[in-house]
Chain A
Amino acid sequence: MASCWIENSTLLTAIVGTWAPFVTFVLIMLFTRHRPKTSAGLSLASATVSLASALVLLGGHWNLQRPLEYTGRWLVSGDIYIPFGYLLDPVSLLMLTVVAIIGFLVQFYSLGYMAGDPGFSRYFALMSLFLWSMMCLTISPTLFQLYIFWELVGLSSYFLIGFWYEKFSAGQAGKKAFVMTRLGDVAMFLGVLLILLHLGNLNILEIDSPKIVGLMPPEMLTLAALLIFGGIIGKSAQFPLLTWLPDAMQGPSPVSALLHSSTMVAAGVYLFERLFPFFLFSSTATTVGLAIGTISMLLASTMAMVSRDIKQIWAYSTISQLGFMLMGLDAGGLFAGAFHLTTHAAFKALLFLCAGVFIHQYGTNDIYDLAAKGTRRMRVPMLCTIIGAGALAGLPPLSGFFSKEVILAKLAGLPNPIWLVAALLGVFLTAYYAFRPIFIMLFPPSLPAANASNAAPEGTRHRLLYRIMVGPLVILAGATVALGFLQTPLRNFLAGQYTGLTTAGGAHLGWLPYVTSLLATGGVALTWWEFGRPGARQTGFVDGIPVIARFFAERWYLDRLYRAILDHAVDRGISAVLAQNDTRVIDGSIDGISRGTVLAGRLAALINAGMIQYRLLMIFAATVLLSLYFFF
């Protein structure tokens, strides 16, 4: 790499694009902590550079024939070779572009959202850190590098969730997110090591090539795939590690938009795309993945149906949509997953940013409170929310409809119809929960006094901030509408990936789009009946059965279960026992030994009681015994 990296324009672009945020991070942390404006400028500039380079790379390699790979030595130890480098192929280029675009928009948005926050500089530094690690993750040529940056995005996620560290719950949520993803990461690390053991290196292209089947016994391959899938579960908040994501909403809204919906949590799905052929080699792994994706999708949908917190609703929908992507991928549809990832990134970022505008304006997350305070008067964000929710629900002309369609087609191609049925159920539920907050906010039972002052932000500064925030919304809304019509070019673009791979084509069922749109519309209609129509009681059908509602609201008691395990089994169980062991058994025995030594000394001293006659007696006895010894 060192020989000609400066001459190779592609590589140079990639390096500049990925490392500019890191430089920004270092500069902000070291020099401009106390100059928020400079920090923001630097950060935005680096995001722009990244965006430009991503676009240049994407444009320059639209017709990429075979993957471009650049590696250089990072660490060599014994027979472990860890390179650092860049792998440019359709999958990574698409993801890179998505990351760069959303990252740029969110940073721009944050100028308004975070204005006046005491941690303004820190915020932008951490955002840059995230952007750097996410981009490096995207273009990793080896699983090692991917793992390293995988951890680093987790780290930046930890810091950003706990950004308002004075709120105790924020810190808790960050910790929870880090530890739960760490659990998945450990599994993934083990899977990576397993591959390393058999393959000898971790080059992604080699892992994806068919020769791995010859190098790894099938059960090992399945095990490795499952372990790596564990990492995906952690990062993409799939069942059973899904509870950290709703809590992660403690972070600022732009962070939720960037990290916890569109990019970082999608890294799990991205990893699946990255190792797509590898996973397909093991049918057990894909089946497990399919099951987990399905369970997560349905579970999160039920949770979203009863939540009152707008950000949590979108968080649950993120889990559910990620599950949906994994279903598509496990069904053998690389394009299905990648396309839905892209559209999802756009509309989910849109939804979160809109929610951020509401929260920034009214200072509450509760949808009923928001409705009562009059969100419907904020026309642009409300409209954007409706567009985003429409895409989420999969209403026809919006991008979500098309991407879901592709996945459903793939699922329909599977021999077992249960997946398709589950997915269709998911579509219905999604439509229901996506429009529930919309209708609640659109048709509040009683509006506050009309023309309340908070309808339109006042003051030039306030208005400026508002405009800064609304700008990215409009762009994302446009993307949400437009992306659906880019299906064919994207499909052609991604066709260059994994050319050797033959997957069963999705069945072309003519009736599927109609059924889907019917279900989605039905879901929306049900919502309208319950929440939207004049005189509606604004309680969902689930709320009618308190037991189930409570069950859903408590996240199926998963959180309680984990908490109980952690508290009782680990903290008060094993740890306490071991700590007791330390103080009582180990320390105790050692203290006992030293006490025993002293005691023995005291006892020995008893013989030498200090009286001269005893000494004399001892001498005499010793002499006698010696004489016995000598003479006999």
Chain B
Amino acid sequence: MHMEFASFPYLSSILAACLLGFGAILLIPARHTMLIRYVSAVFSGITLIITLYLFCAYDKRVGGLQFVEKVPWIPPLGIQYFNGADGFSLPNLLLTGLVFFTGVLTMWRMETRVKEFFALYFVLVTGVFGLFMSMDLFFLFVWYDVSLIPMYLLIAVWGTTRKEYAAMKLTLFLLAGSALILPATIYLFVQSGLNTFDIVALMQPGTFGESQQKFAFIFLYLGFGILAGVWPFHTWSPIGHVAAPHAVSMVHAGVLMKIGAFGILRVAIFLCPQGWQHWSQLMALLAAIGIIYGALVGLRQTDLKYVIGYSSVSHMGIVGLGLSTLTVDGLNGAVFQMFAHGVMTALLFSSVGYIYDQTHTKSVAELGGLSRTMPVASSYFIVAALAGMGVPGLANFWAELLVFIAAFKVYPLRGVLAIAALVVSALFMLRVVQRTFYGPEKEKYARLSDVPFGLGIPRMILAVVLLLFGLFPSLMVDMIETASIPFFNGLPR
């Protein structure tokens, strides 16, 4: 029984902040809604600050796992409370912090069951944070399920369109995913013979034979892939996006889908690299189909949130394509895309949230001419839409660029198809922008007010982040490289 702390337990303090916030919200009587909001904002702000600090404090020259915390929990089963951050998880932690904080601010004006909402929201985010920092397979799985359950309640209680159906569908899909992951996890645990769930120990080359890796990989890929919106298991996500309240949509599209991709990376690819090589053709195929498919279906949608939902399917396809290329660039691009897409969709949903609160509709056909009434809200949406189209100067461009280069090298045909989808994605994003914000001002929306400064803060943060990483992509890519290059060098050739 020995514990290992590299330094102050920053990672645990993130979780602690979430749980303290949760506890504090539970203790406040439900009628003090304003107090609850402030408490939520403060605690989520703390997590954002810590993640930001970690992102900056990570020593890129040393690389590897840093801020390690290791406490044995159930020694007979080799289960440890083992947290660590590396170049793959830090962008995602930062993303979670950003989306968490901005999500709280986005829901500032929500009035129904405020206390319960924020309490569940904190539980949800705790699970997400835990998953991104956990280096123990068992804990990873537990965090995965912790983040799924509140989702059901959040959608079913606070949602809008067909919420019960969407909530049930989402939960069933994700539980199906976890039903695939759990056996694979146990299989790996048993087959390794090391009696440990420690990912670092399990990922040593030679732990698993090739056939074992192939077997386990496909389970893990499909299980996490459902969460990552891999075609054809994506249909839960647009419906879920539409039904969920705005902040939950933000977390849902911004972070939760990343959990899937991150799980593929952290568990499936780390533990079964040979399985990865074996199945990469399939991954690339599904990803390429998803990219085109999502864009084309998005073209037909008439609900703002559905449009974003399908664009998410398309963009997550890019992540999948990057992961499938078996190259450093592909991994860099994929992780960068996770981050960029998370920020981008959060911004989109946040803007749509404001628009919906004002106009009480999400139908593209009913909206129109909003640029005149609410120029600031519109411009945030437009910035995010541009990022979604892969316009240079915003973070998504670089991620897509890296992925496309890598894909084009490895899978020329699928790469070309995926790149061609850029046209379609531009078409449908611009179509939405055109119909919603341009055109003559509509009478019924003439008296709506624009975003006040305070409510604009979350969107401003997200837009600035997009622009920052768009202008200085190496801030992010250098970080990811500290993890991706050693990972590749460690692979058996």
Q: Are A and B in contact, CB atoms below 8 Å, in the complex?
A: yes
* Inter-chain contacts of A76 with B (CB < 8 A): 474, 477-478, 481
Q: Contact at A80–B405, with CB atoms within 8 Å?
A: yes
* Inter-chain contacts of A190 with B (CB < 8 A): 408, 416, 419
Q: Contact at A196–B405, with CB atoms within 8 Å?
A: yes
Q: Contact at B332–A570, with CB atoms within 8 Å?
A: no
Q: Contact at A178–B438, with CB atoms within 8 Å?
A: no
Q: Contact at A148–B297, with CB atoms within 8 Å?
A: no
Complex alpha-carbon distance, A172 and B427, angstroms:
11
Q: Contact at A571–B299, with CB atoms within 8 Å?
A: yes
Q: Indicate whether B420 reaches chain A with its CB closer than 8 angstroms.
A: yes
Q: Contact at B473–A166, with CB atoms within 8 Å?
A: no
* Inter-chain contacts of A418 with B (CB < 8 A): none
Q: Contact at A168–B440, with CB atoms within 8 Å?
A: yes
Q: Contact at A175–B392, with CB atoms within 8 Å?
A: no
* With known contacts A74-B473, A74-B474, A149-B392, A80–B402 Cβ distance under 8 A: yes
Complex alpha-carbon distance, A495 and B25, angstroms:
75
Shortest distance from the beta carbon of A248 to any chain B beta carbon, whole Å: 14
* Chain A minimum-CB-distance residue to B232: A586
* With known contacts A183-B423, A186-B420, A77–B477 Cβ distance under 8 A: yes
Beta-carbon contacts under 8 Å, B467-481 to A: 473-474, 477-478, 481
Q: Report which of B408, B423, B427, B430 forms a contact with A193, defined as CB distance below 8 A.
A: B408
Q: Contact at B430–A179, with CB atoms within 8 Å?
A: yes
Shortest distance from the beta carbon of A41 to any chain B beta carbon, whole Å: 22
Shortest distance from the beta carbon of A180 to any chain B beta carbon, whole Å: 9
Q: Indicate whether A189 reaches chain B with its CB closer than 8 angstroms.
A: yes
Q: Indicate whether B102 reaches chain A with its CB closer than 8 angstroms.
A: no
* Chain B minimum-CB-distance residue to A164: B438
Q: Indicate whether B422 reaches chain A with its CB closer than 8 angstroms.
A: yes
* With known contacts A182-B422, A574-B296, A586-B235, A193–B434 Cβ distance under 8 A: no
* Inter-chain contacts of B422 with A (CB < 8 A): 182, 185-186, 189
* Inter-chain contacts of A197 with B (CB < 8 A): 408-409
* Chain B minimum-CB-distance residue to A585: B232
* Inter-chain contacts of B45 with A (CB < 8 A): none
* Inter-chain contacts of A168 with B (CB < 8 A): 438-440
Complex alpha-carbon distance, A269 and B473, angstroms:
30
Shortest distance from the beta carbon of A119 to any chain B beta carbon, whole Å: 9
Q: Report which of B169, B391, B434 forms a contact with A172, defined as CB distance below 8 A.
A: B434
* Chain B minimum-CB-distance residue to A583: B235
Shortest distance from the beta carbon of A183 to any chain B beta carbon, whole Å: 5
* Chain A minimum-CB-distance residue to B313: A582
Q: Contact at B393–A152, with CB atoms within 8 Å?
A: yes
Q: Report which of B301, B329, B392, B423 forms a contact with A151, defined as CB distance below 8 A.
A: B392
Q: Indicate whether B371 reaches chain A with its CB closer than 8 angstroms.
A: yes
* Inter-chain contacts of A510 with B (CB < 8 A): none
Q: Contact at A166–B297, with CB atoms within 8 Å?
A: no
Q: Contact at B440–A582, with CB atoms within 8 Å?
A: no
* Inter-chain contacts of A574 with B (CB < 8 A): 296
Complex alpha-carbon distance, A149 and B391, angstroms:
10
Q: Contact at B404–A166, with CB atoms within 8 Å?
A: no
Beta-carbon contacts under 8 Å, A158-184 to B: 158, 162, 165-168, 170-172, 174-175, 178-179, 182-183
* Chain A minimum-CB-distance residue to B420: A186
Q: Indicate whether B431 reaches chain A with its CB closer than 8 angstroms.
A: yes
Q: Contact at B438–A165, with CB atoms within 8 Å?
A: yes
* With known contacts A186-B422, A190-B416, A582-B297, A166–B438 Cβ distance under 8 A: yes
Complex alpha-carbon distance, A597 and B184, angstroms:
24
* With known contacts A78-B332, A175-B431, A165–B439 Cβ distance under 8 A: yes
Q: Contact at A77–B329, with CB atoms within 8 Å?
A: yes
Q: Report which of B232, B328, B392, B484 forms a contact with A152, defined as CB distance below 8 A.
A: B392
Q: Indicate whether B144 reaches chain A with its CB closer than 8 angstroms.
A: no
Beta-carbon contacts under 8 Å, A247-293 to B: none
Shortest distance from the beta carbon of B458 to any chain A beta carbon, whole Å: 17
* Chain B minimum-CB-distance residue to A169: B439
Most B CB contacts (10 A, CB to CB) among A185, A189, A576 go to: A189
Shortest distance from the beta carbon of B336 to any chain A beta carbon, whole Å: 9
Complex alpha-carbon distance, A168 and B299, angstroms:
19
Interface string of B412-456 (1 = CB under 8 A from A): 000110011011101100110010011111000000000000000
Q: Contact at A77–B328, with CB atoms within 8 Å?
A: yes
Complex alpha-carbon distance, A174 and B438, angstroms:
11
Q: Contact at B438–A75, with CB atoms within 8 Å?
A: no
* Chain B minimum-CB-distance residue to A587: B235
Complex alpha-carbon distance, A179 and B426, angstroms:
6
Q: Contact at A576–B300, with CB atoms within 8 Å?
A: yes
* Inter-chain contacts of A155 with B (CB < 8 A): 386, 391
* Inter-chain contacts of B419 with A (CB < 8 A): 186, 189-190
Complex alpha-carbon distance, A531 and B130, angstroms:
79
* Inter-chain contacts of B353 with A (CB < 8 A): none
Q: Indicate whether A219 reaches chain B with its CB closer than 8 angstroms.
A: no
State the main secondary structure of chain A at its contact with B: helix
Shortest distance from the beta carbon of A219 to any chain B beta carbon, whole Å: 14
Q: Indicate whether A73 reaches chain B with its CB closer than 8 angstroms.
A: yes
* Inter-chain contacts of B297 with A (CB < 8 A): 575, 578-579, 582
* With known contacts A151-B392, A166-B441, A578-B296, A78–B408 Cβ distance under 8 A: no
* Inter-chain contacts of B369 with A (CB < 8 A): 166
Q: Report which of B299, B424, B438, B484 forms a contact with A171, defined as CB distance below 8 A.
A: B438
* Chain B minimum-CB-distance residue to A197: B409
Complex alpha-carbon distance, A366 and B371, angstroms:
29
Q: Contact at B300–A575, with CB atoms within 8 Å?
A: yes
* Inter-chain contacts of B393 with A (CB < 8 A): 148, 152
Complex alpha-carbon distance, A75 and B333, angstroms:
12
* Inter-chain contacts of A186 with B (CB < 8 A): 419-420, 422-423
Complex alpha-carbon distance, A162 and B435, angstroms:
13
* Inter-chain contacts of B20 with A (CB < 8 A): none
Q: Report which of B327, B397, B415 forms a contact with A78, defined as CB distance below 8 A.
A: B327
* Inter-chain contacts of B474 with A (CB < 8 A): 73-76
* Chain A minimum-CB-distance residue to B475: A75
Complex alpha-carbon distance, A178 and B391, angstroms:
11
* Inter-chain contacts of A576 with B (CB < 8 A): 300
Complex alpha-carbon distance, A576 and B296, angstroms:
8
Shortest distance from the beta carbon of B449 to any chain A beta carbon, whole Å: 16
Interface string of B158-185 (1 = CB under 8 A from A): 0000000000010011000000000000
Shortest distance from the beta carbon of A586 to any chain B beta carbon, whole Å: 5
* Inter-chain contacts of B426 with A (CB < 8 A): 178-179, 182
Complex alpha-carbon distance, A587 and B172, angstroms:
13
* Chain B minimum-CB-distance residue to A147: B392
* Inter-chain contacts of B416 with A (CB < 8 A): 190
Complex alpha-carbon distance, A382 and B173, angstroms:
70
Shortest distance from the beta carbon of A26 to any chain B beta carbon, whole Å: 9
Q: Indicate whether B398 reaches chain A with its CB closer than 8 angstroms.
A: yes
Q: Contact at B441–A571, with CB atoms within 8 Å?
A: no
Q: Report which of A151, A171, A594 forms a contact with B172, defined as CB distance below 8 A.
A: A594
Shortest distance from the beta carbon of A544 to any chain B beta carbon, whole Å: 40
Shortest distance from the beta carbon of B471 to any chain A beta carbon, whole Å: 9
* Inter-chain contacts of A171 with B (CB < 8 A): 434, 438-439
* With known contacts A152-B392, A197-B409, A77–B332 Cβ distance under 8 A: yes
Shortest distance from the beta carbon of A427 to any chain B beta carbon, whole Å: 36
Q: Indicate whether A1 reaches chain B with its CB closer than 8 angstroms.
A: no
Q: Contact at B371–A165, with CB atoms within 8 Å?
A: yes
Q: Indicate whether A79 reaches chain B with its CB closer than 8 angstroms.
A: yes
Beta-carbon contacts under 8 Å, A135-165 to B: 147-149, 151-152, 155, 158, 162, 165
* Inter-chain contacts of B329 with A (CB < 8 A): 77-80
Beyond A77-B333, A168-B438, 15 additional pairs, beta carbon < 8 A: A78-B481, A80-B405, A148-B392, A148-B393, A155-B391, A165-B439, A168-B439, A182-B422, A186-B423, A189-B419, A570-B296, A575-B297, A579-B300, A582-B297, A594-B172
Closest 10 CB pairs of A and B: A78-B328, A171-B438, A165-B438, A148-B392, A78-B329, A579-B300, A168-B439, A175-B430, A575-B299, A575-B300
A positions within 8 Å CB-CB of B: 73-80, 147-149, 151-152, 155, 158, 162, 165-168, 170-172, 174-175, 178-179, 182-183, 185-186, 189-190, 193, 196-197, 570-571, 574-576, 578-579, 582, 586-587, 590, 594
